Structure 1
Amino acid sequence: MILTLKLLFGAICAAMLIVTVRTSMELSLWSAWAGYAANPWAIATLWDAYCGFLTFYVWVLYKERGLGVRILWFVLIMGLGNIATALYVLIQLFRLRPGQSPESLLLRRPA
């Protein structure tokens, strides 16, 4: 199960990186913004994405104890979106000790 999760979140991170880089090379976000902002569904999708990022960040806030790490992950998640979320989950998966279950991924590590 852990291997499957590592492959899944590795694939998500890689796919998001590829799509983001390819799209950025074709058209910058700033030059596309006027057309994007004029589309109500685009704005609704953006709100949906950022509410999801914030929801995910609440888990990060629970898991991480240090203020600096919490701030760093907030900036990364809000700036990189699902690239950062997939990366965070991958880091958590690789920190699991042999024999730990996937359920322990959700819990805060002991101090």
Structure 2
Amino acid sequence: MILTLRIFFIIVLLSMLAVTTWASKQIPLWKIPYETWTHPWWIATLFDAYWGFLTFYCWIVYKEVSWIARGAWFIAVLLLGNIAMAVYALIQLFKVPLNSRAEDVLLRRNP
């Protein structure tokens, strides 16, 4: 299970880095046409993405005991989205042995 999750989040991270790099080379984010920014589906997609980011962040708040770490991850998740989320998940997944259970990753460990 842990190996499968590691592979999954590595794929998420690499694909997000690849597509973000590709998109950035096509057109800078600040040059997206006004019609796109105001399109209802663009707005709905942003709401969907950011509510997903904040939902994942709830797990980070649970896992991290330091307010500094919580704040840093909050900024990272809001600015980098799935890239930051994949990095966080990989950090957690590489802290446990391969034969660990999912709850060993999901639950907070005693500091």
Q: Tell me which interval the TM-score lies in, with the shorter structure as reference length.
A: over 0.9
Q: 1:28: which partner in 2? A: 28
Conserved in 2, the CA contact under 8 Å of 1:57 and 1:74? yes
Q: 1:5: which partner in 2? A: 5
Matched length: 111
Residue identity (%): 47
Letter paired with 1:75: I
Deviates more, 1:51-60 or 1:101-110: 101-110
Q: 1:72: which partner in 2? A: 72
1:40 and 1:33 mapped to 2: Cα distance?
Answer: 14
RMSD (Å) for aligned C-alpha atoms: 1.1
Q: Which runs of 4+ in 1 moved over 6 A?
A: none
Letter paired with 2:86: A
2:21 and 2:33 mapped to 1: Cα distance?
Answer: 17
* TM-score where L is the length of structure 2: 0.94
2:82 and 2:89 mapped to 1: Cα distance?
Answer: 10
Deviations 1:47-99 (A, max 9, x none): 11000000110110000001111111000000000011111100000001454
Letter paired with 1:55: T
Q: 1:101, CA displacement in angstroms?
A: 1.1
Deviates more, 1:24-33 or 1:6-15: 24-33
SS of the residue 1:95 aligns to? coil
2:53 and 2:98 mapped to 1: Cα distance?
Answer: 29
With CA pairs under 8 Å and 6+ residues apart, which has the higher RCO, 1 or 2? 2
* TM-score where L is the length of structure 1: 0.94
Letter paired with 2:89: V
